Amino acid sequence: MIVKNFFMHLSENQLLNKAAQNYGFKLGAHSVVAGTNIEEAMGSIKELNAQGISCTIDNLGEFVHDKAEALHAKKQILGVVDAIHAHQVDAHISLKPSQLGLDIDYDFCLENIKEIVEKASAFDIFINFDMENYARLQPSFDLLEELSKDYDNIGTVIQSYFFRAEEDIQKYSKYRLRIVKGAYKEPEAVAYQTKEEIDANFIELIEYHLLNGKFTSIATHDHNVINHVKQFVIDHSIPKEKFEFQMLYGFRKEMQLELAEQGYNFCTYIPFGTDWYGYFMRRLAERPQNLNLVVKQVFTK
């Protein structure tokens, strides 16, 4: 827990974040980040596609407090839409509302995301709104609801550690949803704190959406949960077209391939860009063994 809190604390440090952007692609981040630009990331995406794996692309960035930076992020994500279309890859986009100005001004953020969703919609590309911390949860659902009046190529994430997740999954079941355990440090007032409670809620939410909702993305590296889902879909005659498994780029690569080979829809989350620091620190907080990846990178250079 101390180690987890340590990395979680680092992940929120804005000064270190800036320093990391300037310092470059160091500390082994490139084992879990697929490049600094979309053309670099395309190589990995095409390789995964060739193995029957689809991708969701995250142009890394979050907690933007400057309008120019948010507009720059929008431009880059529009470039990702173009790249998916131009390369004709099997991929969609994951974006973070805070990267597009949620912390600056709700309407400004709405306009930025709208432009992306509109362009993606013309190419039939799905856009997932990643979920961030609790303070940004309701505004992110509001963005989704607002944009769903005009577009249907959008969906979001349900984080199982939140007490309100059960209510949310019922309310938002009309959307394609990615269900996760939850990656941020949240207070006891709003979120389960123990692994047992979070895992139990995770399973309940997955089962609910598989039975009642639109398409379900089960995003986890936890083999126990994956095995449970495999049995659950057999027991309830849920066709493979109704769901997919998702994992992050660079993690459990063999299992990713194995699931795809077993005929499950599989999607790898592909982060790329220079703003890798917060993403990378959260991965270390989740699983300090991920430090092994770092050590390996440093010593194999």
Stretch that binds ligand FDA, among 5-13, 43-51, 229-237, 248-256 (CB under 6 A): 248-256
Among 17, 159, 256, 265, binds ligand FDA (CB under 6 A): 159
**Strands (DSSP E) along 42-194, which ranges?**
54-59, 91-95, 127-129, 154-159, 176-180
- Closest approach, Cβ 128 to ligand FDA, in A, equals 8
Whether 178 sits among the annotated catalytic residues: the reply is yes
| Residue 172, token pair as written in the block | 């938002």
The one catalytic residue among 103, 130, 168, 199: 130
Q: Are 250 and 221 in contact (CB under 8 A)?
A: no
Among 246, 275, 276, 279, binds ligand FDA (CB under 6 A): 246
Q: Are 294 and 28 in contact (CB under 8 A)?
A: yes
Among 60, 183, 218, 229, binds ligand FDA (CB under 6 A): 183
Whether 142 sits among the annotated catalytic residues: the reply is no
Q: Which string of DSSP letters, residue by residue, matches 13-32?
A: -HHHHHHHHHH-S-TTGGGT
Q: Which of 206, 182, 208, 205 has the alpha carbon at shortest distance from 195?
A: 182
Cα–Cα distance between 300 and 278 in angstroms, integer? 24
Q: Are 267 and 55 in contact (CB under 8 A)?
A: yes
Q: Is the Cβ of residue 130 or residue 168 nearer to ligand FDA in the bound state?
A: 130
20 binds ligand FDA (CB under 6 A): no
176 binds ligand FDA (CB under 6 A): no
181 binds ligand FDA (CB under 6 A): yes
131 binds ligand FDA (CB under 6 A): yes
Which residue type, as a one-letter code, is found at position 192? Answer: Y
Positions 206 through 225 that interact with ligand FDA (CB under 6 A): 219-222
Among 46, 85, 164, 287, binds ligand FDA (CB under 6 A): 287
Cα–Cα distance between 279 and 272 in angstroms, integer? 10
Residues that bind ligand FDA in the complex, under the rule CB under 6 A: 130-131, 157, 159, 180-184, 219-222, 246-248, 251-252, 269, 286-287
Catalytic residues: 130, 178
